[in-house]
DNA sequence: TTCTAAATGCAAATGACTTGCAAGTGGATT
DNA sequence: AATCCACTTGCAAGTCATTTGCATTTAGAA
């Protein structure tokens, strides 16, 4: 973990190490509030300030350690920056499933070719919402 | 316009008519702030309260007069509810181009078929971002 | 060990909404 | 046309996620 920070010229502070570890261990995307509560739960890092959490999250986003996800839930979520993918989120229980799709990337390329105002797309966000099998039952 | 309101059982108040008219005339999606400023610009409706704007926007969303769009810009945008489509937004000048794509809808169907946790998608949001031809130059 | 730019804690500020409540008003009814 | 009341609105205060100013602390290079 210290490597990840050092590569980017970030000081390896306890707060940064703790927050990075939380993301490495987490199976799901986390909002600042989730991270903050997780820190408070531990003995060692319970005194890390909320402002520090926010500052660390945006630092990590800038350094491509994390990526931001907008689930339209009032707060912004983050996850470790890995291969490009999308999410399906359950309306009811918030379960998140990840998926990749080369088909989507291809379709997006076609869209730009038809556009009169744009030549290429730099970013896109695609979020799917539905009810998971558990919640349907 | 009164028809639109009456169909949904909404009283045709000056605020609602004014806000609806702003959307009918607008070429681009608008945030609450944009609507509010536009009202202040007019002589007749300059005294409509910001809270009323917010209340009217959510009423209109509920009644499917408007749909919400999340451009990840800190505030939520709305546009008249019309045929399902997506947007490409310019990072620099915020120009918005709309597009439809049956290909995307098909691809999304395929994704769900591969999902282990989900059976169907109820909603999706797809937002594209890039530089428009003007801003590239 | 020393030193300093960078990081943190704290408290106040911000921005985008939301809400409680008293006063006002469409529009159905008379 | 006057009445009435559930629905609307204005206003001010509140909320929630996030940001910022500033004084203090600290990681890590020298």
B76: closest CA of chain A, how far (Å) = 10
- Partner-chain contact B133 A121, CB within 8 Å: no
CA B63 – CA B119 distance, rounded (Å): 27
Total domains in the fold of chain A: 2
**CA angle, corner A126, sides to B89 and A91, nearest 5?**
125
- Token pair 């989730």 is found at A34
Neighbours of B79 (CB within 10 A): 19
Per-residue pLDDT tens digits for B20-63: 999 999 999 999 999 999 999 999 999 999 999 999 999 999 99
- In this predicted structure, what is the pLDDT of residue A12? 97
Domain shared by B27 and B51, yes or no: yes
Question: Looking at residue B132, which CATH number applies to its domain?
Answer: 3.30.1490.190
Q: Confirm or deny that A97 is annotated as ligand binding.
A: no
Nearest Cβ partner for A111 among B99, B123, B136 = B99
Q: Confirm or deny that A62 is annotated as ligand binding.
A: no
Domain shared by A15 and A58, yes or no: yes
- Partner-chain contact A104 B104, CB within 8 Å: yes
In the structure, what pLDDT confidence band is assigned to residue B109 with cuts at 50, 70 and 90?
A: confident
Domain shared by B75 and B98, yes or no: no
Domain shared by B10 and B75, yes or no: yes
Residues of A in contact with B101 (CB under 8 A): 107, 110-111
Neighbours of B86 (CB within 10 A): 20
Domain shared by A24 and A75, yes or no: yes
The rounded mean pLDDT for chain B is: 93
DSSP per position, A53-120? HHHHHHHHHHTTSEEEE--SSSS-EEEE--S--EEEEETTT--EEEE--HHHHHHHHHHHHH-SSEEE
- In this predicted structure, what is the pLDDT of residue A7? 94
Substitution target in A69, A76, A110, A130 with the highest count of B β-carbons within 10 Å is A130
| R_g of chain B computed on alpha carbons | 18
- In this predicted structure, what is the pLDDT of residue B112? 85
Q: Confirm or deny that A105 is annotated as ligand binding.
A: yes
Q: For residue B44, which of B25, B17, B78 has the smallest C-alpha distance?
A: B17
Decide: helix, strand or coil at residue B47: coil
| A–B interface: beta-carbon pairs under 8 A | 119
Domain shared by A76 and A97, yes or no: no
- In this predicted structure, what is the pLDDT of residue A114? 85
CA A11 – CA B134 distance, rounded (Å): 41
Domain shared by B69 and B6, yes or no: yes
Domain shared by B18 and B59, yes or no: yes
Per-residue pLDDT tens digits for A41-57: 999 999 999 999 999 99
CA A99 – CA B115 distance, rounded (Å): 8
Per-residue pLDDT tens digits for A49-103: 999 999 999 999 999 999 999 888 889 999 999 999 999 999 888 899 998 989 9
Neighbours of B58 (CB within 10 A): 15
Binding-site positions of B for Zn(2+): 90, 93, 132, 135
- In this predicted structure, what is the pLDDT of residue B111? 87
Domain shared by B71 and B93, yes or no: no
CA A108 – CA A99 distance, rounded (Å): 16
What residues make up the domain containing A64? 2-80
Q: For residue B38, which of B14, B18, B58, B24 has the smallest C-alpha distance?
A: B18
Residue A134: enclosing H or E segment and its boundaries? helix A133-136
Domain end point (choices A35, A55, A80)? A80
Domain shared by B95 and B111, yes or no: yes
- In this predicted structure, what is the pLDDT of residue B73? 86
Average pLDDT over residues B68-91: 92
**CA angle, corner A74, sides to A71 and A79, nearest 5?**
45
């Amino acid at each position: 973990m210290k490597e990840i920070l050092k590569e980017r010229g970030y000081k390896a502070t306890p707060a940064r190490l703790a927050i990075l570890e939380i993301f490495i261990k987490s199976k799901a995307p986390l909002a600042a509030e989730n991270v903050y509560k997780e820190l408070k739960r531990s003995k060692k890092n319970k005194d890390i300030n909320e402002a520090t959490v926010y500052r660390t999250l945006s630092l990590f986003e800038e350094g491509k350690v994390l990526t931001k996800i907008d689930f339209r839930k009032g707060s912004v979520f983050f996850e470790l920056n890995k291969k490009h993918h999308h999410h399906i989120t359950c309306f009811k229980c918030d379960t998140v499933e990840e998926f990749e799709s080369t088909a989507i990337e291809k379709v997006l390329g076609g869209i730009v070719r038809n556009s009169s105002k744009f030549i290429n797309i730099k970013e896109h966000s695609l979020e799917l919402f539905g009810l998971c099998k558990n919640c349907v039952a």
